[in-house]
A and B are shown apart, each in its own frame.
Chain A
């Protein structure tokens, strides 16, 4: 075989290998994004299951907070019925705020705060809240990696050829850490 043919063969082989590598990376990232999404889903469902329990427990002590109970219960059913990502994020924020209000209300009832059932529920909900935050963090990290790969050259060629599309970020209010105001010195 002449030399130029060898060069062509080697180049084609390198291109193919690179393409395979990028393709595998895309597949892996897509799997991680999907996995991240299902993790969020698992934790959100766990929270839906815990809310009626919490409402019932708090109701036994704080009978005057009917409005708050209804508000939380309604936010929960809205979140379950939501189809689009932004709608769901909106409803989840409502739930987060409602639960925080419920815990704030509980501060006024010493009997409730001493209730073992309530304490266990509080740990479960706090744990679930942070798991939601961590699952969202993982999901958004993976979406960012995937979208960057899909958007940049040469991986965008492979992505286009095999139909990999960018994914949507899951924006939900961070239950633990609110954004801080950054001030730039003049």
Chain B
């Protein structure tokens, strides 16, 4: 199990590096299109650094704000605070900050950059439907993400993928609306290499959202199983989380207003945006979480 964590951490560094390179390439292509490769490169590197730093230090606040999470005091939510504190003791980490999200779908996520700067957020629906043991299972899962630094990866990916998607959409749209004029204007001959790089950049731009998806898949799926197992190791009671997942699966028809593609992988279970949304073959391909039945089965085998 500890080797699994170590390999996960190596993969993490690679993935972050890849995401930053991708972002840099997108920025570079944007610069080329605007007419200057060198300024584009400088801009791309600066952009990548600024975005990474922003994602590193402020990503958690951004994610929490995007879900309209509200920090709660121990007086307001005694049970939740007691469980978070108890499991933090078991995991040997400082107690994270506790947030409640005004959503009726039972779900939860953790964010932050390390155990010293971590937050756990649960929905109102989760508090309403779970008993103590189930809530312990859920919090145990989330704290495992904190211990493993999954929260750093998840938050970075959420912010960076969000940025890549935003930039590529911006580019494609401006190309669509104003690009033809720009290309005709720059009708000078002898731009062979630039044209090739431009083409690569364009391909990258088109691929960026898909690559972003793949990165998120790689980050998420195995991690969920791992966090389920580690959470069970914390609570020493796998049926708690299994029962919680069963309830969450039963309530998967309830939509979540704050669900979006950039943060989907952070949640305990993939949130749905549309009422009664099912899982088609395409959605399975792009889903950020393993099927809930599979997770329950593995927990029951422990």
Contact = CB atoms under 8 A, between A and B. Distances in A.
Interface of A: 32, 35-36, 39, 43, 120, 123-124, 126-128, 130-131, 133-135, 137-138, 142, 177
Interface in B68-101: 78-79, 82-83, 85-87, 89-92
Contacts of A131: 82, 85-86, 89
Contact of B92 (A36, A120, A128, A130): A36
A124 B81 CA distance: 10
B98 to A, nearest CB: 13
Chain B interface: which size bin? 10 to 19
Contact of B86 (A120, A134, A177): A134
Given A130-B136, A135-B90, 9 more contacts: A123-B78, A124-B82, A127-B79, A128-B82, A131-B86, A133-B86, A138-B90, A142-B92, A177-B237
Best-surrounded residue of A124, A134, A137 (most CB of chain B within 10 A): A134
25 contacts: A32-B92, A36-B92, A43-B89, A123-B78, A123-B82, A124-B82, A127-B79, A127-B82, A128-B82, A130-B82, A130-B136, A131-B85, A131-B89, A133-B86, A134-B86, A134-B89, A134-B90, A134-B234, A135-B89, A135-B90, A137-B90, A137-B236, A138-B89, A142-B92, A177-B237
A165 B190 CA distance: 76
Contacts of A127: 78-79, 82-83, 85-86
Contacts of A128: 82
Contacts of A130: 82-83, 86, 136
Nearest to B88: A134
Contacts of A120: 78
Contacts of B237: 177
A4 to B, nearest CB: 36
A126 to B, nearest CB: 8
Contacts of B79: 123, 127
B50 to A, nearest CB: 36
Interface of B: 78-79, 82-83, 85-87, 89-92, 132, 136, 234, 236-237
B92 A138 contact: yes
Nearest to A39: B89
A21 to B, nearest CB: 16
Nearest to B85: A131
B89 A177 contact: no
- Across chains A and B, which 4 residue pairs bring their CB atoms closest together, nearest first? A127-B82, A134-B90, A131-B86, A134-B86
B95 to A, nearest CB: 11
A124 B234 CA distance: 21
A6 B224 CA distance: 49
B187 to A, nearest CB: 64
Contacts of B85: 127, 131
A161 to B, nearest CB: 27
A124 B90 CA distance: 18
A124 B236 contact: no
A130 B135 CA distance: 13
B280 to A, nearest CB: 41
Name, among B85, B234, B237, the residue most crowded by chain A CB atoms within 10 Å (CB to CB). B85
B184 to A, nearest CB: 65
Q: Choose among A123, A126, A137 the residue with the greatest number of B CB atoms under 10 Å from its CB.
A: A137
A94 to B, nearest CB: 22
A138 B136 CA distance: 16
B87 A124 contact: no
Nearest to A42: B89
Contacts of B90: 134-135, 137-138
A12 to B, nearest CB: 28
A113 to B, nearest CB: 17
A123 B234 CA distance: 21
A120 B89 CA distance: 22
Nearest to A32: B92
A24 B78 CA distance: 38
Contacts of B83: 127, 130
B92 A124 contact: no
B123 to A, nearest CB: 21
A159 to B, nearest CB: 21
